[in-house]
Structure 1
Amino acid sequence: MSKSFVFVTGNANKLKEVKAILATGDSGIEVTNQAVDVPELQGTTQEIAKAKAATAAKIIGAPCVTEDTALCFEAMGGLPGPYIKDFLGTLGHDGLNKMLAGFGNTNAYALCTFAYCEPGSEPILFEGRTDGRIVPARGPTNFGWDPIFEPVEGNGRTYAEMDGAAKNAISHRYRALEKLRAYLAAK
């Protein structure tokens, strides 16, 4: 079985992080990328990931991996969750902070779901989670919600304030990708 896959993304930052994480430990996993137009679905993170991966594998005709990232606010029962991209685009970093103003609870977690799918097969999910809290934006604003997420393990820094190696060592993406790496290594 193949130890290569197409990472379905047009996001250069995500591709860079995935390649950096997989480069550690000489995994022997080859990653290429391709932007594929798949429908933006609604549902749980797991439902969305499975549907996207199955659609992408059918379109590409090769093993592929999709990624869905969620930012879940404890006070809001897990919202905005998989819809964080739309919330961020509409409200911005400051607006996301204001959403929590009346709750008195800024606890949150970042959830990454990788879905691996070979054409004609059922997608397999790999999830990683990092706990933290929502804070006023600090650090560079070039990568989504990183400036407002301060992981518990971040020594008081937001994802945006960390260098790539520090973030990759504790991130939700790293934790999910490690599970995917172990699966592919065992194939």
Structure 2
Amino acid sequence: MSEIVFITGNQNKLKEVQMLLAPCEGEPAPFTLTNKALDLMEVQDASLEAISLAKCKQALNVLGKGTAVFVEDTALSFDEFNGMPGAYIKWFLKSMGLEKLVKILEPFENKGAAAVTTITYADSNGKMYSFQGITKGRIVPSRGPTTFGWDSIFEPLESMGKTYAEMEKKDKNLISHRGKAFKKFKHFLYEQ
């Protein structure tokens, strides 16, 4: 059984990804998922694909040839701001907090947003593949637990009025940007 390394030190993210990549009941997993926390340089680019690709290449350089590895990058794009903060959401959130993120959209009618996850995977031969998932929604005042990034301010259009934070994990995974990207990635991994 081969090993695939997920580059993350975030245990919440690891648990979610383990759920998303788990085999169907009764099926054996064709790989073992492990994780490694690496401090990778974040390329400054508006393109999530470019950032993810650069990080995966760095991880491959650190871990060495022959290692199957993937990185996952997430963006939150505000329609009113032509996609910003996008890939910079992590830094906006860290600097401003949830309340101020919501407040910057206050003067505008358009609260539309898109949550985007891009996964870049390097197989054991170093060949790169990308998978992306997008969920449309809107930015709302914080509701639900605030323990997982900006989940409490993002209300997906298909969530029946709940923020990600208010949803059960299994329900969130069915409609989330991360769930959609990992569904594509899982299909790729299991069809090999």
In the alignment, structure 1 residue 159 sits paired with structure 2 residue 164: yes
Shift in Å at residue 153 of structure 1? 1.1
For residue 98 of structure 2, the aligned residue among 72, 93, 98 is 93
1:39/1:119 Cα in 2 relative to 1: closer, same or farther (>3 Å)? farther
RMSD, aligned α-carbons: 1.5
User: Alignment partner of 1:10: what SS?
Assistant: coil
Shift in Å at residue 122 of structure 1? 4.4
**2:190 corresponding residue in structure 1:** 185
Give the distance between the partners of 1:161 and 1:89, measured in 2 at CA: 21
**1:12 corresponding residue in structure 2:** 11
Normalized against structure 1, the TM-score is what? 0.94
Give the distance between the partners of 1:73 and 1:24, measured in 2 at CA: 34
Gaps of 5+ in 2: none
User: Alignment partner of 1:136: what SS?
Assistant: coil
Q: Is the helix fraction higher in 1 or 2?
A: 1
Give the distance between the partners of 1:76 and 1:18, measured in 2 at CA: 30
Letter paired with 1:39:
M
**2:134 corresponding residue in structure 1:** 129
Give the distance between the partners of 2:39 and 2:125, measured in 1 at CA: 19
1:46/1:126 Cα in 2 relative to 1: closer, same or farther (>3 Å)? same
Identity percentage over the alignment? 45
Letter paired with 1:149:
F
Report which structure shows greater RCO (CA 8 Å, sep ≥6).
1
**1:47 corresponding residue in structure 2:** 50
Letter paired with 1:134:
I
In the alignment, structure 1 residue 60 sits paired with structure 2 residue 59: no
Shift in Å at residue 4 of structure 1? 3.5
Normalized against structure 2, the TM-score is what? 0.92
- Length, aligned pairs only: 186
1:72, 1:110 within 8 Å by CA — same for their partners in 2? yes
